[in-house]
Amino acid sequence: MPLISVIVPVYKVEAYLAQCVESILAQTLTDYELWLVDDGSPDACPAMCDAYAAQDGRVHVIHKENGGLSSARNAALDRMTGQYLCFVDSDDFIPADALETLYAALAETQADVAVGNMLSVNERGEEAEFYFPVRERTALAGDEILSTMNQPCACNRLYKAAIFRDLRFPEGRLYEDVFVYHRILAQTARMVLTGKVDYYYRIRSDSIMHSDYDPRFTDIVFAIKERYEWLESIGQHALADEARLFIYSRVAVACAHLDPKDPMQKQKLDEITAIYRDCYRVLMRDASISFKQKLRLCLLLRLPALHTALFGRKMPLALG
């Protein structure tokens, strides 16, 4: 049984796959298995995956019909055998000591999850700080772990594999990491932040998350709804209301971009407006929210077109 299972979903990343896989094969910690999941990629990626498996016995390949990122990750979760688990997206890469750093931090602090810092890399190869919660190793316990919810990326972390025994990513949804992150935290008694860069996140102009508004972006509303319901269930009412304010901002963006005359887009608007209406009722009773903010909340619910005209198409989280 390997110490760590590394899961890499692969789809149309011919230009980036080699750097990703080779960064994993170069790890200083060598006791791992690598699962490359070819998610029906139409380019050279399937052959590249097979070539890596032929070269290194730690590499395993799954070929499947295209089903999206969640489907690919889930396919490997059903087969992986490691005691610990990490995800790497196939257009990203990791430094040579990433697995060693994450595992050492997790083992030495008896944590359930280890989290590294992240650098972003743009198309010109320029690096920038992307997620730097701490500069030195820091252990979190109890409610302290909730501070990591604002960066719920699945990839810059090492998990005890048991966390994913009954947990899978939602298929057919965007923001899959947001959908599962609170469920990860529900099983995390202790978390450690390494304070070191353990992941390089590539920013691509052709990524859906950097494209024009897509109706599927409304998936974030459903994900955050699950988050605030969980936060309420554990008595974190203030954080639940922060999540509800985030829903306000995402519904505002959707109202500014979606066309209610289009049947599919109208259905999306109706669904997320129903969730926002429930948030609105709670937020209007929250004494910590300013009168000015409450006016905006009301305007979005009653006159969304006027809200867009006054505040634009890109919304902040909230107005203090």
How many angstroms separate the CA atoms of 102 and 34, rounded?
A: 16
Distance of CA 251 to the CA centre of its chain: 19
Report whether 205 contacts 123 (CB < 8 A): yes
Which pLDDT tens digit goes with each residue over 293-308?
999 999 999 999 999 9
Lookup result for tokens 């972006």: 217
Which pLDDT tens digit goes with each residue over 241-265?
999 999 999 999 999 999 999 999 9
How many angstroms separate the CA atoms of 74 and 165, rounded?
A: 11
Report whether 154 contacts 115 (CB < 8 A): no
How many angstroms separate the CA atoms of 140 and 147, rounded?
A: 9
| Domain made up of 4-208: CATH architecture | Alpha-Beta Complex (3.90)
pLDDT of the residue at 264: 94
How many angstroms separate the CA atoms of 128 and 146, rounded?
A: 25
Contact residues for 184 (Cβ-Cβ < 8 A; gap 6+): 113, 159, 163, 167
Which pLDDT tens digit goes with each residue over 50-78?
999 999 999 999 999 999 999 999 999 99
pLDDT along the chain (320 residues), means of 10: 97 97 98 98 98 98 97 98 98 98 98 97 93 96 95 95 98 96 97 98 74 88 98 97 96 94 95 98 96 96 94 62
Residues 131-170: b if buried by 16+ CB within 10 A, e if exposed? bebeeebbebeeeebbebbeebbbbbbbbbbebbeeeebb
Contact residues for 72 (Cβ-Cβ < 8 A; gap 6+): 9, 10, 11, 37, 39, 62, 64
Question: Coil, strand, or helix at residue 138?
Answer: strand
CA angle 300, 306, 308 (to 5 degrees): 75
pLDDT of the residue at 320: 38
pLDDT of the residue at 319: 42
pLDDT of the residue at 283: 98
Question: Coil, strand, or helix at residue 128?
Answer: strand
pLDDT of the residue at 210: 56
pLDDT of the residue at 312: 82
pLDDT of the residue at 209: 54
pLDDT of the residue at 211: 59
Lookup result for tokens 């998990």: 159
